[in-house]
Amino acid sequence: MELIVSLAIGVLAGSGVWLLLRPRTFQVIIGLSLLSYAVNLFIFSTGGLRTGAAAILERGEVGSLARYTDPVPQALVLTAIVIGFATTALLLVVLLAARGLTGTDHVDGRERER
């Protein structure tokens, strides 16, 4: 399971970096989103990949902490998802405004001569 998650993180991060280097702003926005998904998966995987484990300790229950999962990475990822959606929406609005003003969606504002 860890191999699949690490491969998914690597593919998402690699694709995100590749798209960040593209000349169009929409591709840059998608690259930032893919990179944030890779970071979210990485943070989520640091909490331990356990299925069926409780995230909250119950009152009066004693036992080994190895039976529980860490809730902090889950809370961080949920917060990062919300912030990522807001940032993506803001970037799309800026993209539409810049395209309306310049007439192109090229990163530096001008098309390459052909």
Q: Where residue 33 sits, what CATH number does that domain have?
A: 1.10.287
User: Residue 55 falls within a domain, yes or no?
Assistant: no
Average pLDDT, the chain: 84
Distances in Å between the Cα of 38 and the Cα atoms of 4, 14, 15, 35, 105 are 13, 9, 10, 5, 26
Average pLDDT of the segment spanning 63-86: 82
For residue 63, what pLDDT band results from cuts at 50, 70 and 90? low
User: Residue 86 falls within a domain, yes or no?
Assistant: yes
User: Residue 94 falls within a domain, yes or no?
Assistant: yes
10: containing domain: 2-49+67-102
pTM of the model: 0.76
User: Residue 108 falls within a domain, yes or no?
Assistant: no
> Who's near 33: CB < 8 A, 6+ residues apart?
16, 84, 88
3-state secondary structure of 106: strand
User: Residue 73 falls within a domain, yes or no?
Assistant: yes
Q: Which pair of tokens denotes residue 90?
A: 């803001």
